[in-house]
């Protein structure tokens, strides 16, 4: 029998977890605390160790080194069926020989609960599929199976609900809809959700806290806004959205600001947004933070001049410009199309400007390509 009482509830703590398969280290010395009641996302590309981490929390894999605590209970070596943790599997893994009702009742029955009807019907209502109770899983669409997999897990009211790429098999429209629904259900039932995904948009839409994983470790952890606005590494800057990273030097300070030289042009940025260790840095600015203006028109904030428009792509909601700078780099600029036709043409001589507060600084020895070469839409998970 599984103890789902308050003693086994609380924060989930992973302490110095390492998981190796022979020579390959999937998860490397990872420590992590997931607060009770939060919607937590593990985000990273294929092979970053996020699924392995999830499987260790579920009990499907045992860590080579380290410990896992739920509240005050050490669950490191507990079998999956001994943990008050349930999983929504990537391909749902519904039981094909059982009806939807029996699929959902499975966990309750194994815990020796006799009257399951009320609980099962309640979650069927929650996922809005009460009319499918007597169907078999193969008679359901992908989106319906996804909801049943969720219902089968949350009916047990686990201390922790694990979601392994739960929306990966759905089409884009359904995925968007389910993202909102999942978030709503999490608030409704008040359980801790741990969501594994390679889709940064999905993680940012749903999670309170995101841990970005890369090569078996956590690259950076924080709220979606923190991670996006102030990434600490090039990997995070590139994996979550797009970034312009410009090589530069810190020349000095002026109050709370740093004065930075970018290829001979001076800009300023807040000290608190620098993650550099010495004067050599990469200055980072998100493409939508840039403004473009024709040479000779007034500008404010930081200014980089000498550029010309190299490429114009009309996206609908915005227009993307590639601006060639004198030092040979092309900067990406997104302009909202809130005032009609795109005002700039290929070849226009322009200056780029932005608010100093939007600048972040990375260490000068970072690999600026990190996090860009992995295709975030790569669906196969061969971890």
Partner 1 sequence: MRMSKTLSKVKLPYLLLLPGFLFLFTFFILPILNLAQTSTQTPIAGGDTGEYEQTLRFANYIDAFIENREQFARSFIFAICATLLALAIAYPLAYAIAFKAGRFKNILLVLIIAPFFTSFLLRTVAWKQILGEEGFVVPPLRTFGIISESTTLTSTSFAVVLGMTYNFLPFMTLPLYASLERIDPRTMEASGDLYANGITTFRRVTLPLSMPGVVAGTLLTFIPAAGDYVNAAILGNPNSKMLGNVIESRFFKIVDYPTAAALSFTLMAAILILVTLYIRKAGTEELV
- Helix 142-154 vs helix 100-110: angle between axes, to the nearest 10 degrees? 20
* Contact predicate 236/227, CB 8 Å: yes
Number of residues lying near partner 1 (CB under 8 A)? 26
In angstroms, give the least distance from the CB of 94 to partner 1. 8
Q: In this complex, which beta carbon is closest to partner 1, that of residue 88 or of residue 227? A: 88
Residue 273: DSSP 8-state = G
CB of 98 to partner 1, least distance (A): 8
Q: Which residues, at least 6 apart from 221, have a Cβ–Cβ distance to it below 8 Å? A: 32, 209, 210, 211, 212
Residue 99 Cβ vs partner 1, minimum distance, rounded to whole Å: 11
Q: Indicate the residue among 81 and 327 with the shorter CB distance to partner 1.
A: 81
CB of 86 to partner 1, least distance (A): 6
Q: Virtual CA dihedral for 241, 247, 252, 258, nearest 10 degrees? A: -10
Helix axis angle for 117-126 and 142-154, nearest 10°, is 130
* Nearer of residues 86 and 238 to partner 1, judged by Cβ: 86
Q: Closest separation between CB of residue 84 and partner 1, Å?
A: 9
Instruction: Give 3-state DSSP helix, strand, coil % of the chain, rounded to 5.
Output: 25, 35, 40
- Show the site string, 3-32: x = touches partner 1 by CB under 8 A, - = not: ------------------------------
| Number of neighbouring beta carbons within 10 Å of residue 237 | 28
Instruction: Round to whole Å and give the CA distance between 171 and 325.
Output: 39
Footprint of partner 1 on 104-163 (CB under 8 A): 106-107, 110-111, 136, 138, 152, 156
Residue 107 Cβ vs partner 1, minimum distance, rounded to whole Å? 4
Contact mark string toward partner 1, 63..102, x via CB under 8 A: ----------------xxx---xxx-xxx-xxxxx-----
* Residue 2 binds to partner 1 (criterion: CB under 8 A): yes
Q: In this complex, which beta carbon is closest to partner 1, that of residue 83 or of residue 232?
A: 83
Least distance from partner 1 to the Cβ atom of residue 103, Å = 9
CB of residue 18 to partner 1, shortest distance in Å: 22
| Single residue of 25, 36, 60, 263 touching partner 1 by CB under 8 A | 60
Among 12, 30, 57, 58, binds partner 1 (CB under 8 A): 58
The smaller minimum CB distance to partner 1, of residues 3 and 367, is found at 3
Q: CB-based contacts of 57: which residues, under 8 Å, 6+ apart? A: 12, 14, 68, 85, 160, 162, 194
Per-residue burial over 11-43, b if 16 or more Cβ lie within 10 Å, else e, is bbbbbebebeeeeebbbbebebebeeebbbbbb
DSSP line for 87-133: EEBTTB---TTS-HHHHHHHHHHHTT-S--HHHHHHHHHHTT-GGGT
Given the rule CB under 8 A, which residues bind partner 1? 2, 58-60, 79-81, 85-87, 89-91, 93-97, 106-107, 110-111, 136, 138, 152, 156
């Amino acid at each position: 029998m599984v103890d789902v009482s308050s003693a086994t509830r609380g924060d989930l703590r992973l302490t110095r977890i390492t998981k190796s398969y022979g020579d390959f280290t999937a998860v490397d010395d990872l420590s992590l605390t997931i607060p009770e009641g939060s919607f937590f996302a593990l985000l990273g590309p294929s092979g970053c160790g996020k699924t392995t981490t999830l499987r260790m929390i579920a009990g499907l894999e045992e860590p080579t080194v380290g410990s896992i605590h739920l509240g005050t209970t050490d669950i490191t070596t507990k079998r999956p069926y001994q943990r008050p943790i349930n999983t929504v599997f990537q391909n749902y893994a519904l039981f094909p020989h059982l009806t939807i009702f029996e699929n959902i009742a499975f966990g309750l029955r194994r815990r020796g609960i006799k009257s399951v009807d009320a609980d099962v019907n309640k979650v069927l209502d929650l996922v809005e599929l009460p009319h499918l109770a007597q169907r078999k899983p193969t008679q359901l669409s992908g989106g319906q199976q996804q909801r049943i997999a969720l219902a089968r897990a949350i009916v047990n009211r686990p201390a922790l609900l694990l979601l392994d790429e739960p929306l990966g098999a759905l089409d884009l429209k359904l995925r968007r809809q389910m993202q909102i629904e999942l978030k709503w259900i999490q608030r409704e039932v008040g359980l801790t959700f741990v969501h594994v995904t390679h889709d940064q948009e999905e993680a940012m839409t749903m999670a309170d806290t995101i841990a970005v994983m890369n090569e078996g470790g956590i690259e950076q952890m924080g709220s979606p806004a923190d991670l996006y606005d102030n990434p600490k590494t090039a990997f995070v800057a590139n994996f979550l959205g797009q970034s312009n990273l410009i090589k530069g030097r810190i020349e000095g300070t002026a109050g709370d600001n740093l004065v930075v030289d970018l290829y001979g042009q001076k800009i300023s940025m807040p000290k608190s947004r620098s993650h550099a260790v010495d004067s050599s840095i990469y200055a980072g600015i998100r493409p939508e933070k840039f403004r473009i203006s024709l040479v000779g028109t007034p500008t404010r904030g930081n200014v980089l001049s000498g550029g010309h428009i190299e490429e114009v792509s009309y996206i609908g909601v915005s227009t993307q410009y590639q601006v060639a700078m004198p030092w040979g780099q092309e900067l990406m600029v997104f302009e909202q199309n809130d005032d009609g036709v795109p005002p700039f043409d290929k070849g226009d001589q322009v200056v780029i400007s932005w608010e100093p507060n939007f600048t972040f600084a990375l260490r000068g020895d970072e690999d600026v390509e990190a996090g860009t070469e992995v295709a975030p839409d790569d669906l196969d998970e061969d971890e």
